[in-house]
Amino acid sequence: MLELLPPPPTDPLWDLTYEFGADDRPERMNLVLGVYRDQSGTTPVMAAVREAEMRLAQRSESKEYRGLSGNTAFNRSLTDLVLGTGGPAGRAAAVQTVAGSGALRLLADLIFRTRPGATVWVSDPAYVNHRPILEAAGLKVRPYGWRDAGGGFDAAGVLRELRDARRDDVVLLQGCCHNPTGVDPLPEEWEALAESAVRGGWVPFVDLAYHGLGDGLEADLLATRMLAERVPEMLIAVSCSKNFGLYSDRVGCAIVLGASGRTVRHAETSLQNAARTLYSMPPEHGAAVVTTILEDEGLRAAWRAELDVMRGRIMANRADLAAHLSALGRAEQARSLARQKGMFSMLPLTPHQMLRLRRQHAVYGTTSGRINIAGIPAHRIPCLAQGIAAVLDAADAPRVILPA
């Protein structure tokens, strides 16, 4: 059987990570994976998470199965966090998932079961796993542009393309801190997207993975809450990996909003059935940690304070990198970088230039130009800026053809 298996494609992000691990240059920088790192290069466990884990260990509760929806207290707490209490959360159902990727897959299965002929529109560029997850669920995927020629959000272009979205098509949107570009719509542009959804009848599918790391927790959730108030149906995939630092605990939630309680209950059962065939039930520990934090006023305040510190470090890194690029004569690229938000930024480099950045300057980013701003040691920013400028300068230099 196995000898008949064709060579499968490998994961490009992990390939680069393994290459980084084999690189013995002491100055190398790993800006590939989307994890937050502090100044020492460590991905820390948040103090609020440590305290919550200590309380859970002291209680030593049972390890009995939670059920197909996972930890229901977690589902309630996270739904209230995302949608706000007293608002559209009253017409929502949620199930705990295996991280944000698990939520994307469960919701993709729900789309296929209810609308097998629907097209799911995905931004170009997009999070590297969006298209594979959707296509693995059997869905048709269609790209729509995201950035304009200047590197900002192309509001006119996006709205123009989405006029072709049919009623009951699904449009995948990232609620904040777009991965990989760091480019987000302005509030009035989000309003225009909501009007397009209502007018065209397409369903927003919001991926929330970085809330709290852009403009602040409440500000980063405004677009998702506004959409939930405006549209009759909506899907939301939530990850707790980044803003709680629970990467390896795989904590997420799939939320469905409907026009009536009956349809939402049916959707919840459908999500439970999909989870049953994929992994049965999600892991409990990380969900219990998040619930402990969100249900305790003191821990919740401590968590938000830590989240603000993380956001501040990301913003400082981006501003400092932009300033150094500008000082090196790259003002246009610096302005584009400074406008971006969240953990990631897109460098204006081709795949070949990213290869040169890796080989000549020991800076590891994706071939698309994405780098993890949250992973840059602050004292290495001048070196990073010099490497980027050198690659750009080499591309700008006239080619000299030597005589034979």
| Structural domains in the chain plus CATH codes | 9-44+312-393 (3.90.1150.10), 48-295 (3.40.640.10)
pLDDT at 200: 96
Mean pLDDT of 261-286: 90
| CA dist., res. 342 & res. 345, Å (int) | 8
Q: Which residues pair with 207 in a beta bridge?
A: 174, 237
| CA dist., res. 321 & res. 391, Å (int) | 15
Angle among Cα 34, 120, 254 to the nearest 5 degrees reads 55
b/e sequence 368-380, b meaning 16+ C-beta within 10 Å: bbbbbbbbbeeee
- 89 touches 225 (CB < 8 A): no
- 343 touches 34 (CB < 8 A): yes
In this predicted model, what pLDDT tens digit does every residue of 167-223 receive, in sequence order?
Answer: 989 999 999 999 999 999 999 999 999 999 999 999 999 999 999 999 999 999 999
The residues, any chain, with a CB within 8 Å of residue 33's CB and separated by 6 or more, are: 13, 17, 372, 375
| CA dist., res. 73 & res. 269, Å (int) | 17
- Per the document, the length of the chain is 404
pLDDT at 403: 40
pLDDT at 318: 96
- 253 touches 79 (CB < 8 A): yes
Is the peptide bond prior to 232 cis by the omega test (within 30 degrees of 0)? Answer: no
| CA dist., res. 356 & res. 359, Å (int) | 5
* 396: confidence class by pLDDT, cuts 50, 70, 90: low
Residue 257's H or E segment, with its range, is strand 251-257
Strands 363-364 and 92-98: unpaired
| Whether the predicted pLDDT of 300 surpasses 60 | yes
In this predicted model, what pLDDT tens digit does every residue of 106-157 receive, in sequence order?
Answer: 999 999 999 999 999 999 999 999 999 999 999 999 999 999 988 899 999 9
Average pLDDT of the chain, as a whole number: 93
Closest CA to 292 of 282, 302, 305, 283: 302
Would you state the structure tokens that stand for residue 145, as one six-digit string?
Answer: 């542009």
In this predicted model, what pLDDT tens digit does every residue of 28-64 receive, in sequence order?
Answer: 999 998 999 998 889 999 999 999 999 999 987 788 8
- 103 touches 238 (CB < 8 A): yes
| Whether the predicted pLDDT of 344 surpasses 90 | yes
- 160 touches 127 (CB < 8 A): no
Q: Rounded to two decimals, what is the model's pTM?
A: 0.93
* 92: confidence class by pLDDT, cuts 50, 70, 90: very high
Helix axes 187-200, 217-230, angle to 10 degrees: 20
Closest CA to 336 of 197, 149, 199: 149
Instruction: Name residue 384's amino acid.
Output: L
CB hemisphere CA count around 396 (13 angstroms):
9
| CA dist., res. 120 & res. 37, Å (int) | 33
Would you state the structure tokens that stand for residue 270, as one six-digit string?
Answer: 């459908």
| Whether the predicted pLDDT of 329 surpasses 50 | yes
